[in-house]
């Protein structure tokens, strides 16, 4: 008995129930012998069941069954400890139409039905799409909207974004391509809201492998990436038409490479952190040439500089200038002379 019942009244309830049961038996017998009354009762029951089903799906926008989808059955519209039914107009019928026309059904022999919109209780994300009820998880084609405004369209495998899909970030950036375990993996394109575009390979949500990145000002990079950074062989073309082709490390020019300046100068040699470092050859369009050592973007160490009028200096350099002992060739005299230089100026000749 429920709360407030008096066990002293039990006998009275039993007698009353016996009386009611007897009347119910007589009523059943009369109904069964009256076909018109029986049909009326069946009709009332049918209307009542329809009313209950419509109550369950009231205010729930259900996709028309035009895309080989199974509509969620009323028995599945129950709240879960993980998610609850949710009314939303943020996932539209047009978006669902685009999803089911763009992505074909998975052929993995897993039975799926449409579920949603549902809202997950752990992060308030809203999902609408195919669902594996045997494992109670997202599987197949679906759309998910996060609380901060990001939205994913594409495939899900065992509750994770996988295979292919498109993620529209809340700030307007878009990634479209291959996925694995909720992260971009494989080939894909990332569109930044500022107009920058990366197209290439990804690993665990980072640019990894070969790719090409372009910027709105006309600059572009094409080459290897490692964990989100330019790393390995590549080409970088600047907006002023300068071009570097060579090695990169952690987004910086490092190692051997060739730099073509927009004014036709050219450097072939080694680099460190975007600066000339080590040995290299620098040439000018007017015929000048330096071949030697560099440090921190400047000539330093031993090097040979030749002018377009035939003059040549062989010797030591510091901070970009001749400094120390060197030899100088004058074509008008057709002779070499040794001397001492300081900060780019000859201090004296060393007599032979």
Give me 179's structure tokens: 């996925």
Task: Confirm whether 111 is domain-assigned.
Answer: yes
φ, ψ of residue 29 in degrees (nearest 5): -65, -40
Task: Confirm whether 123 is domain-assigned.
Answer: yes
Selected residue with higher pLDDT from 269 and 20: 269
The tens digit of pLDDT for each residue in 16-64 reads 444 445 555 665 566 566 666 555 655 555 444 444 433 433 333 333 3
Task: Confirm whether 228 is domain-assigned.
Answer: no
Domain ranges, residue 91: 81-170
pLDDT bin (cut points 50, 70, 90) of residue 123 is: confident
Selected residue with higher pLDDT from 33 and 192: 192
pLDDT bin (cut points 50, 70, 90) of residue 253 is: very high
Dihedral in degrees, nearest 10, Cα atoms 308, 309, 315, 317: -50
- How would DSSP label each residue in 151-193? EEEEEEETTEEEEEEEEE-TTS-EEEEEEETTEEEEEEEEE-T
Average pLDDT of the residues of the chain: 83
**Residue whose C-alpha is closest to residue 129's, from 102, 109, 154, 158:** 154
Q: What is the pLDDT of residue 328?
A: 97
Which range, of 24-33, 65-74, 197-206, 291-300, averages the lowest pLDDT? 65-74
Has residue 69 got a pLDDT over 70? Answer: no
Q: What is the pLDDT of residue 47?
A: 45
Q: Identify whether the C-beta of residue 209 lies closer than 8 Å to the C-beta of residue 218.
A: no
Q: Identify whether the C-beta of residue 350 lies closer than 8 Å to the C-beta of residue 328.
A: no
All residues at 6 or more sequence positions from 134 whose CB lies less than 8 Å from its CB, including other chains: 110, 111
Has residue 122 got a pLDDT over 50? Answer: yes
> How many structural domains is the chain composed of?
1
Q: Is 68 helix (H, G, I), strand (E, B) or coil?
A: coil
Has residue 205 got a pLDDT over 70? Answer: yes
Q: What is the pLDDT of residue 53?
A: 34
Task: Confirm whether 106 is domain-assigned.
Answer: yes
Task: Confirm whether 116 is domain-assigned.
Answer: yes
| Buried b or exposed e, range 212-250, using 16+ CB within 10 angstroms | ebbbeeebbbbbbbbeebbbeebbbbbeeeebbebbbbe
Q: What is the pLDDT of residue 94?
A: 86
Q: Mean pLDDT over residues 276-301, rounded?
A: 98
Q: What is the pLDDT of residue 86?
A: 74
Q: What is the pLDDT of residue 87?
A: 75
Which range, of 41-50, 149-158, 222-231, 288-297, averages the lowest pLDDT? 41-50
Q: Mean pLDDT over residues 137-146, rounded?
A: 95
Q: Mean pLDDT over residues 126-138, rounded?
A: 93
Q: What is the pLDDT of residue 213?
A: 98
The tens digit of pLDDT for each residue in 81-115 reads 477 777 777 888 888 889 999 999 999 999 999 98
Q: What is the pLDDT of residue 121?
A: 85
Give the global pTM: 0.74
Q: What is the pLDDT of residue 51?
A: 43
- Residue 39's Cβ-count burial label (10 Å; 0-12, 13-18, 19+) is exposed
Q: What is the pLDDT of residue 88?
A: 75
Q: What is the pLDDT of residue 116?
A: 83
Task: Confirm whether 134 is domain-assigned.
Answer: yes
Has residue 79 got a pLDDT over 70? Answer: no
Which range, of 14-18, 148-152, 274-278, averages the lowest pLDDT? 14-18
Estimate the crossing angle of helix 10-32 against helix 35-56, to 10 degrees.
110
């Amino acid at each position: 008995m429920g709360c407030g019942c008096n066990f002293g009244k039990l006998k009275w309830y039993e007698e009353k129930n016996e009386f009611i049961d007897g009347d119910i038996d007589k009523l059943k017998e009369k109904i069964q012998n009256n076909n018109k009354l029986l049909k009326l009762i069946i009709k009332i029951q049918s209307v009542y069941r329809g009313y209950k089903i419509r109550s369950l799906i009231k205010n729930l926008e259900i996709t028309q069954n035009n895309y080989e989808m199974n509509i969620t059955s009323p028995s599945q519209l129950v709240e879960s400890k993980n998610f609850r039914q949710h009314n939303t107009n943020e996932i539209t019928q047009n978006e669902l139409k685009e999803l089911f026309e763009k992505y074909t059904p998975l052929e993995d022999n897993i039975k799926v039905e449409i579920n949603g919109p549902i809202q997950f209780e752990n992060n308030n994300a809203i999902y609408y799409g195919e669902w594996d009820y045997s494992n109670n998880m997202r599987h197949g084609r679906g759309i998910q909207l996060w609380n901060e405004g990001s939205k994913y369209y594409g495939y899900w495998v065992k509750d994770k974004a996988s295979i292919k899909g498109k993620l529209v970030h809340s700030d307007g950036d878009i990634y479209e391509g291959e996925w694995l375990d909720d992260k971009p993996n494989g080939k894909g394109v990332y569109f930044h809201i500022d107009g920058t575009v990366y197209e290439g390979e990804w690993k665990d949500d980072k640019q990894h492998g070969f790719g090409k990145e372009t910027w709105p000002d006309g600059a572009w990079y094409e080459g290897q990436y490692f964990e989100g950074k330019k790393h390995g062989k590549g080409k970088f073309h600047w907006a002023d038409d300068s071009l570097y082709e060579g090695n990169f490390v952690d987004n910086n020019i490092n190692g051997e490479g060739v730099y073509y300046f927009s004014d036709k100068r050219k450097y072939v040699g080694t680099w460190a952190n975007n600066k000339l470092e080590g040995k290299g050859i620098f040439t000018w369009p007017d015929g000048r040439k330096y071949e030697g050592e560099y440090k921190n973007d400047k000539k330093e160490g031993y090097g040979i500089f030749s002018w377009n009028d035939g003059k040549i200096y062989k010797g030591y350099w510091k901070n970009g200038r001749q400094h120390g002992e060197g030899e100088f060739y004058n074509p008008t005299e057709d002779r070499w002379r040794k001397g001492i230089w300081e900060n780019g100026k000859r201090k004296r000749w060393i007599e032979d």
